[in-house]
Amino acid sequence: MTIRGPSVPTLPLLRSFIATLLGTLMLATALMTEPAQATPKATEFTLANGMKVVVVEDHRAPVVTHMVWYRVGAADEPPGVSGIAHFLEHLMFKSTDTIPNGEFSKIVSRLGGQDNAFTGQDVTAYFQRIAKDRLPTVMAMEADRMVNLRLEEKEVLTERNVILEERRSRTENNPSALLGEQMDAMLYLSHPYGLPVIGWEHEMAALSREDAMAFYKRFYAPNNAILVVTGDVFPDEVRKLAEATYGKVPANPDVKMRGRPMEPPHRAARRIELKDPRAGRPSFHRSYYAPSYVTAEPGEAEALDLLMKVVASGSTSRIYRSLVVADKLAASTGGWYSGSARDSGKITVYAVPVDGVSLAAVEAGIDKVLDTVRREGITAAELERAKKSYLAEYVYESDNQASLARRYGWSLTVGRTVKDIEEWPDRIAKVTLEDVQKAAAKHLDIRRSVTGTLIPEKPDDPTAAAAAPANSAPVPAARAGGRT
């Protein structure tokens, strides 16, 4: 074979390139076959006041990620005050006896770091990424606001306007988000996961200082929190710092552990249709009620993860190849398994039809794929590809301090253990074809589902549709917040 052209490498360079490529491929293969040995290990201990501490070392740079996780989220809100968990997250950046209003983030910034927070159905988390030598300062600040939050009425009213505007911009102006919110409300018959994390607008508008302080005093305490520190630290030095800061905060014996309604059996499929002039294109959506990693049978959640990677994730998935490539029914498709919640999980699929194709045709196409998987399972090649993809993601995410802190913090807060987290690659590797087919047959059950359609509707006012962005892809509703 003759190769011509000015950009062709010389033979020695070509040999070097091939050797490097082979080395990279061998490393990737090694990481995928022995993922548990390629990732950091955590050290955990508990302070005298009940606060759990997890340390993951990474000494490549003098930087740390510091996260405090509270075992409370939107699913723990009292009736009538939806959104209070997220609202309190915002208010935590106001004042304490020692930190003036609005100064928390400014202090972190002056120290050369970044900070933020977020709220989910089960968790509320606050984090800073900071130089190692500034860690004592942010730990002291975080311990301070754990018990010394001071709210003035003016601060509360101003921040309430902020969260209302957040809801308007992220939900009210997004037809797909509105549909997702309505579908969740229909999917959960009893459980509070049916309430939006950000809250219902009419209840958010009435949230008060008293509501926030009651929620704060009920759930914010060291014995209801987990500290995760990743980066250039050693466990002994974190223990010393934690005892000097968080350790001085007394446990609150009145912290009420969460009790939630149990979801009853789902016996009938539900459907919902949302017409909105701002929807750019019609779209099909379906959610199935499923177990989470906490509530699933051993190996079941891992099988669901792999199932949905094969069925709905990316351009090699069953649904994409069938509806987009082969039958030309859809312009885009997708889906996933969400198993990170405490009480239950969810399977989601969606598709946007091409022009001239009905939503009914798209739904029939998706049902055909899902029915085939329920009856026949997936192939060995598909399972192996999905495993390699997930295990590679696990290894690559382990290279990021923030991802590690989030991995441990979220999982521990919803009730999993360090062992669960670190043995996940091994459990993924052990999933069989039979495990996947069993999970598909059990959980792709139309009686446990809500099907939603988003349909563009001709507006009465032609300017109405132009005023909002067109959006047909589903919006995951796992969390709210991230202060801006």
| 3 state SS for 368-421 | HHHHHHHHHCCCHHHHHHHHHHHHHHHHHHCCCHHHHHHHHHHHHHCCCCHHHH
> Would you call 343 exposed, middle or buried from its count of C-beta atoms within 10 A (0-12, 13-18, 19+)?
buried
Residue 154: pLDDT over 60: yes
Q: Which helix (H) or strand (E) holds 162?
A: helix 153-167
The DSSP code for 476 is -
User: Which pLDDT score, from 0 to 100, does residue 256 have?
Assistant: 75
Mean pLDDT score of the chain: 89
User: Which pLDDT score, from 0 to 100, does residue 187 have?
Assistant: 98
pLDDT tens track for 260-318: 999 999 999 999 999 999 998 999 999 999 999 999 999 999 999 999 999 999 999 99
Of the residues 34, 44, 89, 166, only one is catalytic, namely 89
Beta strands 63-70 and 225-231 are antiparallel
Using a pLDDT cut of 70, give the percent of the chain over it. Answer: 86
Domain 42-248 in this protein, CATH class:
alpha beta
Measured distance CA(240)–CA(233) in Å, rounded: 11
Q: Are 156 and 205 in contact (CB under 8 A)?
A: no
Comparing C-alpha atoms, which of 259, 264, 261, 183 is closest to residue 477? 183
Residue 34: pLDDT over 50: no
Question: Within 10 Å of residue 39's Cβ, how many Cβ atoms?
Answer: 21
Distances (CA, A) of 108 to 32, 134, 402: 38, 9, 17
User: Which pLDDT score, from 0 to 100, does residue 353 have?
Assistant: 98
Distances (CA, A) of 146 to 125, 210, 223, 248: 12, 17, 11, 11
What CATH number has the domain spanning 270-478? 3.30.830.10
State how far Cα 318 lies from the chain centre. 24
User: Which pLDDT score, from 0 to 100, does residue 20 have?
Assistant: 38
Active site (annotated) includes residue 363? no
pLDDT tens track for 432-471: 999 999 999 999 999 999 999 999 987 654 444 444 444 4
Give ranges for CATH 3.30.830.10 in the chain.
Answer: 42-248, 270-478
